[in-house]
């Protein structure tokens, strides 16, 4: 299925098929993105930062996509999304708007309605360079790392966000719903897999427009994160990698003729 980048599905690997404006194509080439390159379009949650908070079980990291769905009644009497709390601000969880599976998973962290919390700080965007089952290498965002629950070599249950470098981490569960579970599966991350954190790298971020304006966020396989205006995104034609694989399978299937 072909579409503009602006209309393409989020959390999906996309192949760049063409760029309608030569100047935009030249700019993208300078960023290492060419026709045939694969990019990932991010959900709007990437525009927020994950947050570190302190609860009854110690410090935890809440991904931005969950933080915008957790509402806190602060000790000052305000009701705000978790991601909008201020440093050292305290309060208790008032409500959650995510699904039952997500709510149950957050209990692992001690985060549930009525729980007292202290906001520590918002966290910078980072990439977790990870090896899966000692073979495949991938990059995970800090929010994705925070959604992976399992055990390190010391046997302690924790988030992959807190994993030690060059040690094995056994994935037990994904914190979140079906959408993030399926997305992480495209990275090869699912319960039962073994991960090894090799490095944590600062994300390279580049705005093609004013940072405050509405935009589409993509990242390249090398980890460069680009923020494109809606107009520019509409000038880039893409196709999902999954649909390409389906087409290839149909062409190779015996007895089928692709016209």
Q: Is the pLDDT of residue 247 over 90?
A: no
- Listed in order, strand segments (DSSP E) in the chain are 2-4, 12-19, 38-41, 51-55, 58-62, 70-74, 79-81, 90-96, 116-122, 126-132, 136-141, 148-152, 157-159, 168-174, 194-202, 204-207, 215-219, 224-229, 236-240
Could you tell me if residue 258 is inside a domain?
A: no
Number of domains in the chain: 3
Mean pLDDT is lowest, of 51-55, 181-185, 201-205, 237-241, for: 201-205
Same-domain check for residues 192 and 210: no
Structural domain includes residue 243: yes
Q: Are residues 165 and 214 in the same domain?
A: no
**Do 63 and 110 reside in the same domain of the chain?**
yes
Q: State whether 91 and 112 are in the same domain.
A: yes
- Last residue within a domain, chosen from 77, 102, 122: 122
In this predicted structure, the answer to whether residue 259 has a pLDDT above a threshold of 50 is no
> 162 in a domain, yes or no?
yes
- Please state, in angstroms and rounded to a whole number, the distance separating the CA atoms of residues 21 and 230: 14
Please tell me whether residues 239 and 195 are part of one structural domain.
no
pLDDT tens by residue, 3-16: 999 999 988 889 99
pLDDT at 205: 62
pLDDT at position 256, please? 38
Which is more confident, 87 or 226? 87
Average pLDDT over all residues of the chain: 84
- At 33, list the tokens: 């993105």
Asked if residue 257 is part of any domain, the answer here is: no
Q: What global pTM score does this model have?
A: 0.63
Residue-level pLDDT at 143:
85
pLDDT at 127 (0 to 100): 87
Average pLDDT value for residue range 166-188: 89
pLDDT at 252: 53
Q: Are residues 158 and 93 in the same domain?
A: no
35 three-state secondary structure: coil
> Considering the domain boundaries, does residue 259 fall inside one?
no
* 101, 141: one domain: no
Q: Report if residue 13 sits inside a domain.
A: yes
- Tell whether the model's pLDDT for residue 99 goes beyond 80: no
> In the predicted model, is pLDDT for residue 250 greater than 60?
no
Q: Do 95 and 143 fall within a single domain? A: no
Specify whether 9 is located in the same domain as 30: yes
> Which domain covers residue 106, as residue numbers?
50-122
User: In this structure, are 192 and 241 located in the same domain?
Assistant: no
């Amino acid at each position: 299925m072909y579409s503009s980048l602006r209309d393409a599905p989020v959390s999906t690997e996309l192949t760049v098929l063409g760029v309608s404006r030569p100047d935009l194509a030249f700019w993208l080439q300078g960023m290492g993105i060419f026709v045939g390159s694969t990019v990932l379009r991010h959900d709007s949650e990437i525009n927020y930062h994950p947050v570190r908070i302190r609860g009854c079980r110690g410090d935890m990291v809440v991904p931005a996509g969950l933080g915008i769905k957790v509402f806190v009644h602060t000790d000052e009497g305000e009701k705000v999304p978790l991601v909008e709390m201020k440093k050292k601000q305290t309060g208790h969880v008032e409500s959650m708007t995510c699904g039952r599976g997500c709510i149950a998973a957050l209990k692992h962290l001690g985060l549930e309605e009525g729980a007292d919390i202290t906001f520590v700080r918002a966290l910078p965007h980072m990439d977790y360079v990870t090896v899966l089952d000692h073979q495949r290498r991938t990059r995970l965002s800090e929010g994705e790392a925070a959604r992976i629950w399992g055990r390190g070599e010391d046997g302690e249950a924790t988030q992959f966000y807190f994993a030690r470098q060059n040690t094995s981490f056994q994935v037990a569960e994904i914190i979140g719903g079906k959408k993030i579970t399926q997305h992480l599966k495209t990275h090869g991350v699912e319960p039962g897999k073994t991960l090894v954190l090799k490095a944590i790298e600062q994300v390279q971020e580049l705005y093609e427009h004013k940072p405050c304006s509405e935009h589409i966020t993509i990242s390249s396989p090398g980890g460069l994160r680009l923020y494109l205006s809606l107009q520019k995104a509409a000038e880039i034609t893409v196709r999902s990698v999954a649909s390409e694989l389906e087409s290839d399978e149909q062409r190779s299937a015996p007895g089928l003729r692709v016209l």
